């Protein structure tokens, strides 16, 4: 089972150094959407929601520079 890493970027970065073993990229996409939903549920004072743009990068590596498999992007329009 491949391991996927969910890095969050926006103002500052939080790198996932543990990752999750998931059956395929479709399961990784579902997990990334669920993670993003949890981030969006938090109060607007949370660090990522203070920035107009942030994203969740799904990678094959816990380190920066790994292969980016896909990215979920979010932005706030005022």
The pTM of this model reads 0.85
Query: Residue 52 contacts by C-beta under 8 Å, 6 or more apart in sequence?
Result: 75, 76, 78
Strands 53-59 and 68-75: antiparallel
User: Residue 45 pLDDT more than 60?
Assistant: no
What is the arithmetic mean of pLDDT over 45-53?
Answer: 63
- The continuous run of DSSP H or E covering 22 comes out as none
Tell how strand 53-59 and strand 3-10 pair up: antiparallel
**Residue with more model confidence, 27 or 13:** 27
């Amino acid at each position: 089972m491949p391991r996927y890493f969910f890095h969050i970027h926006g103002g500052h970065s939080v790198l996932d150094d543990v990752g999750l073993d998931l059956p395929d990229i479709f399961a990784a996409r579902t997990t990334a959407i669920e993670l993003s939903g949890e981030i969006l549920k938090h109060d607007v004072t949370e660090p990522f929601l203070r920035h107009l743009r942030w994203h969740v990068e799904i990678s094959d590596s816990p380190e920066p520079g790994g292969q980016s498999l896909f990215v979920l992007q979010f932005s706030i329009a005022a």
